[in-house]
A and B are shown apart, each in its own frame.
Chain A
Amino acid sequence: MAENGAALYKPLGMLAELTHRCPLGCPYCSNPLALDPRDAELDTRTWARIFMQAAALGVLQVHLSGGEPGARRDLADIVAEAHSAGLYSNLITSAVGITGSTLEKLAERGLDHVQISIQDSEPESADHIAGYKGAFARKRALAADVVRLKIPLTVNAVMHRANIDRIEDMVTLALELGASRVEIAHVQYYGWALKNRTALMPSAEQVVRAAVVVEELRRRHHGQIVIDAVVPDYYARLPKPCVGGWGRRSLNVTPTGKVLPCHAAESIPGLEFWSVRDHSLADIWANSPAFNAFRGTDWMQEPCRSCERRNLDFGGCRCQAFALTGDARATDPVCHLAPGHEMVGALAAVREDVPYHYRQM
């Protein structure tokens, strides 16, 4: 039982942001605008301790991410520690910063899965979106190494106005690269993505067409490749069950050791976050004020409070509710039952062909 009386679940997944350093500058990055500097990063030993504590808490899957995890010189040691803690390890990478020989070391140390981001099916456009010339070629090369080493490969295709009309080509590319899974990951508007929203937002027609295309591709490629899709929720009627519920199924450890219920949680004012430098993960999970702030349903306002879906979607996303309404307790306005729901359509309608504010330290 959590402090506020809500049922205390055990987390299944942990996002380990090993660093905020990254050679790419993707305008949709979900990292916060204020990125953590290199000299404040946790060392290998601390990550080893975190992995042990996570496994004891019930975590089964760790997502080694960032920034670009390949920027860590001790990445092979980190993978080894995750493996020896008994965690299933997913490397979430841009491929830029991971050589074939590094990947071999990671495989030897027990890496279970690699996810490579793809910015577009067209190389020039892909490099333009990433803000890095040559990125596309690196991704192709690393994908070949992943497959050669018999590690399962997922392609993460981040979709927005500049590439949403090429979903079919993205899936074809994923198949060509030997991926067993592709994520059609419509941009979610936090961090840098929120800053670049008017440049990234697709139209309603594009989103409807995208959903039709994904269904057709699922039928066509059934059994060949798994196609997961993240809903572009500005055009949804119901909110997403963000992170599977606040403090319910996952946690995020930042490069400096702060533990967050989700990667955008620092955007909500008044929350008190604890660090692995001061507390055990079990203590943070059960007792950190930030984790207890929106656990369960007692914190909810109407219409969420008495809604039959409250334990299905948890009222949507707290960070988005705050960003769009100024109140983190409000119903996520993407929900059609939220007062002020029509603001979301109005925001989505603002689309401008302006240069990207590329992500940078």
Chain B
Amino acid sequence: MNEARPAIAPDARPRLPHGVRLVHSEAQGGWVLLAPERVFKADAVAAEIVKRCTGEATFTAIVEDLAEAYSAPRERILADVTALLRGLADKRLLEL
């Protein structure tokens, strides 16, 4: 269950900071987020969210894009993406 997280500003432009890379590893069987001395497995959905965090797209645009891509209710996507991005930001794996 996701705890409610502080909202992310609609015009925020989330991006991976220097030194954090989203990589697909054949050998390790999927997407991984590489950070200083740490590896995080990312499932397909998390990878799709992080891929959109280019520093160009706004948070609102990302949520709308995902809602369309997954034919899912916007509110649900908003909650899930907020939780993921807040979690990554707390670990210094994302800049909001």
Contact with B along A213-230 (1 / 0, CB 8 A): 000000000110110000
B interface footprint on A64-100 (CB within 8 Å = 1, 0 otherwise): 0000000000000000000000001010000000000
Tell me if B39 and A222 are in contact (CB < 8 A). Answer: no
B12-30 interface mask toward A, CB cutoff 8 Å, 1 = contact, 0 = none? 0000011111010101100
- The reply to whether the CB of A180 lies closer than 8 angstroms to some CB of chain B is yes
B27/A152 in contact, CB under 8 A: no
> Shortest CB–CB separation between residue B42 and chain A, in angstroms?
12
From B18, B25, B36, B91, contact of A60 by CB (8 A): B25
* A43 close to B (CB within 8 Å): no
Q: Are A152 and B89 in contact (CB under 8 A)?
A: no
B92 touches A90 (CB 8 A): no
Say whether B92 contacts A57, CB under 8 Å. no
Q: Is the beta-carbon distance between A61 and B92 smaller than 8 angstroms?
A: no
B90 and A60: CB pair below 8 A? no
Contact of B32 with A by CB under 8 A: yes
A151 within 8 A of B: yes
Chain A CB within 8 A of B34 CB: yes
A113 & B92 in contact (Cβ 8 Å cutoff):
no
Chain B: CB-nearest residue to A111: B19
Contact with A along B38-67 (1 / 0, CB 8 A): 010000000000000000000000000000
| Contact of A225 with B92 at beta-carbon distance under 8 Å, contacts A60-B39, A115-B36, A180-B36 already known | yes
Is B37 on the interface with A (CB-CB < 8 A)?
yes
> In the complex the two chains form, what is the Cα distance from A151 to B20 in whole Å?
10
Contact B36 A181 (CB under 8 A): yes
Residues from chain B with Cβ under 8 Å of A225 in the complex = 92
Tell me whether A150 is interfacial, beta carbon within 8 Å.
yes
Query: What sequence of 0s and 1s flags, for each residue 1-21 of chain A, a beta carbon within 8 Å of any chain B beta carbon?
Result: 000000000101100000000
Interface residue A56 (Cβ < 8 Å from any Cβ of B) = yes
Within 8 A of B (CB), among A106-157: 112-113, 115, 150-152, 154
Q: Is A23 an interface residue (CB 8 A)?
A: no
Please pick, from B19, B25, B28, B91, the residue contacting A226 in the complex, using a CB distance under 8 A: B91
The smallest C-beta distance from B12 to any residue of chain A, in angstroms, reads 15
CB atoms of B34 and A152 under 8 A apart: no
Assess the B89–A88 pair: CB atoms within 8 A.
no
Nearest CB in chain A: distance from B67 CB, A = 27
Decide if A289 is an interface residue (CB 8 Å cutoff): no
Minimum CB–CB distance for B45 against chain A, Å: 21
In the complex, which residue of chain B has the Cβ closest to the Cβ of A10?
B27
CB distance from B57 to the nearest CB of A (A): 21
- Is the pair B37, A154 in contact by a Cβ cutoff of 8 Å? yes
Task: Closest B residue to A249 by CB, please name it.
Answer: B39
Bound Cα distance A151, B18 (Å): 6
**Chain A positions within 8 Å of B32 at CB level:** 60
Docked CA distance A112–B23 (Å): 14
Provide the bound-state CA to CA distance between A187 and B84, in Å.
34
Does A112 contact B21, Cβ atoms closer than 8 Å?
Answer: yes
Judge whether A113 and B37 touch: CB under 8 Å. yes
CB neighbours (8 Å) of A222 from chain B are 90
| Interchain CA distance A13-B38 in the complex, whole Å | 9
CA distance A57 to B26 in the complex (A): 10
Say whether B28 contacts A152, CB under 8 Å.
no
Q: A88-B21, A113-B19, A223-B92 are in contact. List 20 more A-B contacts (CB 8 A).
A: A10-B27, A55-B27, A56-B27, A58-B27, A60-B23, A60-B32, A60-B34, A112-B36, A113-B37, A115-B36, A115-B37, A150-B18, A151-B19, A152-B19, A154-B37, A180-B36, A180-B92, A181-B36, A223-B90, A226-B91
15 contacts between A and B (CB under 8 A): A12-B39, A58-B25, A58-B28, A88-B21, A90-B36, A112-B36, A113-B35, A152-B18, A152-B19, A152-B20, A181-B92, A223-B89, A223-B90, A223-B92, A225-B92
Interchain residue pairs A-B with the least CB separation, the first 9:
A58-B27, A152-B19, A113-B36, A88-B34, A180-B92, A150-B18, A113-B19, A152-B36, A223-B90
B interface residues with partner A (beta carbon < 8 Å)? 17-21, 23, 25, 27-28, 32, 34-37, 39, 89-92
